[in-house]
Amino acid sequence: MVKTWSQPSDSEEQNRTVWAGYASLGWVIIFLGFHVYWAFGGRFGLGDAIAPLPAFPHSVGAWLFTIIVFAMFVLGIIVPLAIVQSWGPGLPRWMLLIACWIGSIVLIVRAVASMIDDFSRLTGILPNGLTGMTYAQITGDSQISAYTLWSGRGIDVYFLLGGILYGIAAWNYAQQKRRTKRFSLDL
């Protein structure tokens, strides 16, 4: 009797990659939507702090930061689309994988660092957190509300979710391109 064992079929791997790619794309579109909403004065998700958003860039460093963030938004949209759309194979595979992994790592590091910063500040381990800044310096308020604290935590969780989704997309994209190998065993 011959038993065969095989890895997931090409179509199963393709479906996983498509799901992860579109989930990552959905994440960044919602994230971009919130940024547009906030840029036009929206406050939901920011708490009730006096100055929850950074001021308009007035220095070279602030402009450089703004340009880098904008580029990350553009790549955050292009990369998940490229791994699921027919035009994607025209781009170097290694570049898409590196971009996906970097996006995943940046989002996870940002989320975890912020969570550790909040935890260290709230517990008193580091009264000014990892950043060396008090809540008053961060938010512009001497008394921070629970709404503002929980809004910040919600944003941290959303960054973590994005990092996980981009990581899953990268992993599935990496696995999808490997050839299916079938093993036969004579029993």
Q: Is the pLDDT of residue 62 over 60?
A: yes
H/E segment holding residue 9: none
Mean pLDDT of 35-57: 81
Question: Per the domain annotation, does 67 fall within a domain?
Answer: yes
Question: Per the domain annotation, does 155 fall within a domain?
Answer: yes
Q: Would you give the end-to-end CA distance of the chain in angstroms? A: 6
Distance (Å, whole) CA 18 – CA 24: 10
Question: Per the domain annotation, does 96 fall within a domain?
Answer: yes
Question: Per the domain annotation, does 183 fall within a domain?
Answer: no
Q: How many CB atoms lie within 10 A of CB 127?
A: 11
pLDDT at 182: 34
Question: Per the domain annotation, does 182 fall within a domain?
Answer: no
CB of 167 within 8 A of CB of 27? no
Distance (Å, whole) CA 48 – CA 16: 40
Grouping H, G, I as helix, E, B as strand and the rest as coil, residue 129 is coil
pTM of model > 0.75: yes
Mean pLDDT of 97-114: 96
Mean pLDDT of 24-50: 88
Question: Per the domain annotation, does 185 fall within a domain?
Answer: no
Q: Is the pLDDT of residue 1 over 60?
A: no
pLDDT at 13: 67
pLDDT at 116: 94
Grouping H, G, I as helix, E, B as strand and the rest as coil, residue 159 is helix
The encoded tokens of residue 103 equal: 């996006």
* Total tally of structural domains belonging to the chain: 1
Question: Per the domain annotation, does 184 fall within a domain?
Answer: no
Question: Per the domain annotation, does 148 fall within a domain?
Answer: yes
Q: Give me the domain span that covers residue 124.
A: 2-177
More confident of the two residues 171 and 176: 171
